[in-house]
A = this chain, B = another copy of it.
Amino acid sequence: MPGEFELIARYFTRPTQRADVALGVGDDCALLEVPAGMQLAVSLDSLVAGVHFPRDTPPADIAAKAVAVNLSDLAAMGAEPAWMTLGLTLPAFDAEWLEDFARGLHEALDTFGVALVGGDTTHGPLTLSLQAHGFVPADQALRRSAARAGDLVYISGYPGEAGQGLALALGQAAAQGPGADKLLARLNRPTPRVDLGLALRGLAHAAIDVSDGLCQDLGHVLAASGLGAVLDVERLPLSAELLAEAGEARARELALSAGDDYELLFTAPPETAPALAALADRLDLPLTCIGRIRAEPGLELRLAGADYSLASAGYQHF
């Protein structure tokens, strides 16, 4: 049975093309170079089998989603991804599992030009801890606290799709048509909005990625900014697939409260609307205005001129 060091060497050590990696996997530390004028953006995500993903999830999917979730945090900050480290706790040595996991990991990293620069492989219950490192010019980061009264609230893509995907995966919902596969893919292989995050530098004020639910994550922005918001529920971009699978009422609920979409929620002043429209066109990604920031605290949801109440508040990891 191979030791930890052989495991690491076999599955996770690869040469990198990045010139800013002076030393990668294999020493006590990685040695890295942050470009002049850039702040280092760092984010950590832990994923536990049976909590964040079903134990029988294909290993390549686990790896790809972990990378996406982690890079999504950089995107929400407007940071350019550069490096990642991986803490991997495994219940047993399983060459087939590791090969598939490593393939999914490297494919996901390669998609975004990210180098795996270090890690630790240990024995125990299946757990991943990924840490993404990226760069953002000083004072251009998209902080949660930077929303301003009068900003418009935007969401990228189609929120709620991953939520219905989860219901399908858990057997809580039955597939109604061919759109179900797309919703499952949105759950298992989310796309971190890295290009969008970079393009929002200088356009958006505040940003956050929707991991726990649109309303809950917007709540973090409002709390950090000391502001409130009103959302127009009828403006939520509900995809045809989500509507077909979940129906309109459930689709709205999922769009507002389900997690795992990893779309970007951001606030921007009204005068950026033309630039955002051009950006949506360039990225081929809907950027939909769903409300506005106001000084009055609290989050108000409006549908057809009346108050709208949310059945569930969003996902709590604990």
Which residues of A line the B interface, CB within 8 A?
Answer: 1-5, 7, 22-23, 26-34, 36, 39-52, 73-74, 76-77, 79, 83, 85-89, 93, 117-125, 127, 129, 131-134, 136, 138, 141, 143-145, 207-209, 220, 224, 316-318
Tell me if A29 and B73 are in contact (CB < 8 A). Answer: yes
Q: List 13 A-B contacts (CB under 8 A).
A: A4-B316, A28-B76, A29-B41, A29-B42, A29-B79, A30-B41, A31-B41, A34-B40, A42-B83, A42-B117, A42-B133, A44-B85, A121-B318
CA distance A129 to B224 in the complex (A): 27
Tell me if A2 and B318 are in contact (CB < 8 A). Answer: yes
CA distance A122 to B144 in the complex (A): 22
Interface centre among A29, A46, A132 (most CB of B within 10 A): A29
Q: What 14 additional pairs, Cβ within 8 angstroms, besides A4-B316, A5-B220, A85-B131? A: A28-B43, A29-B73, A29-B79, A29-B141, A30-B43, A31-B41, A31-B136, A42-B83, A42-B133, A44-B86, A48-B124, A48-B125, A87-B87, A123-B317
Supposing A42-B133, A51-B124, A127-B89 touch, asked if A73 and B28 sit within 8 A by C-beta, the answer is yes
Contact with A3, one of B87, B131, B318 (Cβ below 8 angstroms): B318
Contact with A124, one of B44, B76, B125, B208 (Cβ below 8 angstroms): B125
Tell me if B23 and A31 are in contact (CB < 8 A). Answer: no
Q: How far is the CB of A60 from chain B (nearest CB, A)?
A: 21
Tell me if A28 and B209 are in contact (CB < 8 A). Answer: yes
Tell me if B40 and A144 are in contact (CB < 8 A). Answer: no
Tell me if B2 and A30 are in contact (CB < 8 A). Answer: no
Residues of B within 8 A of A79 (CB): 29
Tell me if A1 and B318 are in contact (CB < 8 A). Answer: yes
Q: Which 7 A-B pairs have the closest CB atoms?
A: A48-B124, A129-B129, A29-B41, A125-B125, A46-B87, A28-B76, A87-B129
Tell me if A42 and B52 are in contact (CB < 8 A). Answer: no
Tell me if A317 and B121 are in contact (CB < 8 A). Answer: yes
